[in-house]
Structure 1
Amino acid sequence: MKVEDTYAVIFDMDGVIVDSEPVYRIWNRELFQRLNITVPEEIRAQLIGGSTKRKWQLIKEHCRLSQTVEDLIQYQYEFFRAKPFNFKDVLFSGVLPLIVELKSNGISVALASSSDKERINRVLTDCGLQYVFDAIVSGEDFADSKPHPEIFLHTAKLLGKSPQQCIVIEDSTNGLLAATRAAMKKVAVRHHSIKMDLSLADLIIDSLEEVNPTILAKML
């Protein structure tokens, strides 16, 4: 198979590259306490996989906050930025070996995360992954967040691939729905403590160590 005919793999970040969702749950709980608001679990579940803008639009509406969405986003930026934490401590062990194996087989890899650029840069720098991806795309560059497919379609264009040549690795319902709407194949990573509806996935795994280029190629 020629390199130009191979597929591409698009990784989500939180929950796929790093086990960050439990960390953010703790930080969000502290943040909500500071804002003196209660965010029910059904709202919190909708936030996973979505952008910061979508998060605060939902919370502002539900909690009837007087602050603007932009002010709430900035407040979160400053709060998270001050947290002393190294994301290398929650890097999934199977990430780098899989990426190295994919790239050695001529397969392009990209990161498409709903997180803002600052958070993406922090995670990748902490984990030493700044230079392994052929494209890095942030959800803050798009008007609509996952479950809208735009972030994945844009990433495919950057890689020079059609949607049918792309496999998305996700952990959230919103991410899987976005990939489905983009007409891409989907691998879902099951989280050990946060239950998500992964029924849209073509393949469900517990760890990235369960997949390799041959297994992924067979999905297409």
Structure 2
Amino acid sequence: MTAGEIMKKKAVIFDMDGLMIDSERVTYDGYVKICSEYNYEMTLDFYKTLLGFRTNVINEKLKEHFGNGFPSEEIIRRVHIYIEQVFSEKGIPLKTGLLEILQYLKHKNYKLVVATSSHRTRVEKILKDAGISRYFEGYVCGDEVVNGKPDKEIFIKACEKVNVKPEEAYVLEDSEMGVLAAYNANISCICVPDMKYPTEKIKAKTYKVVDNLLEALDIIKEDEKRLEGLGYA
């Protein structure tokens, strides 16, 4: 463990899409459906390159990939409507272990904050509708930072929001861009991959890589026991 990782943690910073909410597959389905209506093909490989970025960057990447004639703003808008319709009809799908980790961390008095590339209006609605907004002390959203992930800004602001040092926090992330942002902020990142497993280069910048949030919780509990043994408790 590094010096930052061995320090007693006071906060846990959560990404949203793909980490707490099982939204990436719905989003991909939306892009496939709506792009096809304009005679474009959204492949899974290309979609994975969009993960973790803010809307403005996704817009640029779509135009770069498909050409300047691609109606990216309209398609992004329609994809968001598609996601809202699916969530409204089927409910908001939570990732395995989310409620367990939130309940445990809250019980142990960790400060919990969301740091996501999504816009605040979307974040507030989704987390409220999912019934989990009460667990968090605040949000830092993609429309509230100058530089999106992989820049460290969003995670530094998340630490400031709950008054902790970066080395006193964990970040839970699913995307490579999120992992890089946490690394750049000097925050221990537990990566829970969703649609794309991190490359070895990215994996080396994480604290741990696990399969689900229950395993992430196990890592946190193990760290607590280790720190107790070292007299940090």
- The TM-score, its normalising length taken from structure 1, stands at 0.84
Q: Pairwise mapping of residues 119-158 of structure 1 onto structure 2 (< 5 A)? A: 119-158=122-161
Q: Report what 1:195 is aligned to.
A: 197
What is the CA distance between 1:155 and its match in structure 2?
A: 0.6
Q: Pairwise mapping of residues 13-162 of structure 1 onto structure 2 (< 5 A)? A: 13-39=16-42, 41-66=44-69, 73-83=76-86, 84-88=88-92, 90-162=93-165
Separation of aligned partners in 2, 1:61 and 1:140: 22
Q: Judging changes above 3 Å, is the alpha-carbon distance between structure 1 residues 186 and 128 closer, same or farther for their aligned structure 2 residues?
A: same
| Structure 2 unaligned regions, length at least 5 | 1-7
Q: Report what 2:4 is aligned to.
A: none
What is the CA distance between 1:64 and its match in structure 2?
A: 2.1
Separation of aligned partners in 2, 1:216 and 1:63: 46
Contact map agreement 2:32 2:43 (CA 8 A) in 1: no
Separation of aligned partners in 2, 1:16 and 1:189: 7
Percent identity reads 26
2:206 aligned with 1:204: no
- The TM-score, its normalising length taken from structure 2, stands at 0.80
Contact map agreement 1:167 1:184 (CA 8 A) in 2: yes
What is the CA distance between 1:70 and its match in structure 2?
A: 5.5
2:18 aligned with 1:11: no
Q: Pairwise mapping of residues 162-201 of structure 1 onto structure 2 (< 5 A)? A: 162-191=165-194, 194-197=196-199, 199=203, 200-201=205-206
- Aligned-CA RMSD value: 2.6
Write out per-residue CA displacement over residues 75-119 of structure 1, whole angstroms, 9 at most, x where no aligned residue: 44444444444443x212411221221122221011111122233
Q: Judging changes above 3 Å, is the alpha-carbon distance between structure 1 residues 92 and 180 closer, same or farther for their aligned structure 2 residues?
A: same
What is the CA distance between 1:215 and its match in structure 2?
A: 2.6
State the one-letter code of the partner of 1:215.
E
Contact map agreement 2:9 2:169 (CA 8 A) in 1: no
Q: Secondary structure at the match of 2:59?
A: helix
Q: Secondary structure at the match of 2:134?
A: coil
Q: Judging changes above 3 Å, is the alpha-carbon distance between structure 1 residues 169 and 147 closer, same or farther for their aligned structure 2 residues?
A: same
Q: Secondary structure at the match of 2:135?
A: coil
What is the CA distance between 1:10 and its match in structure 2?
A: 0.3
Separation of aligned partners in 1, 2:22 and 2:114: 15
Of the candidates 205, 217, 221, which is equivalent to residue 214 of structure 1?
221
Contact map agreement 1:39 1:63 (CA 8 A) in 2: no
Q: Secondary structure at the match of 1:47?
A: coil
What is the CA distance between 1:152 and its match in structure 2?
A: 0.7
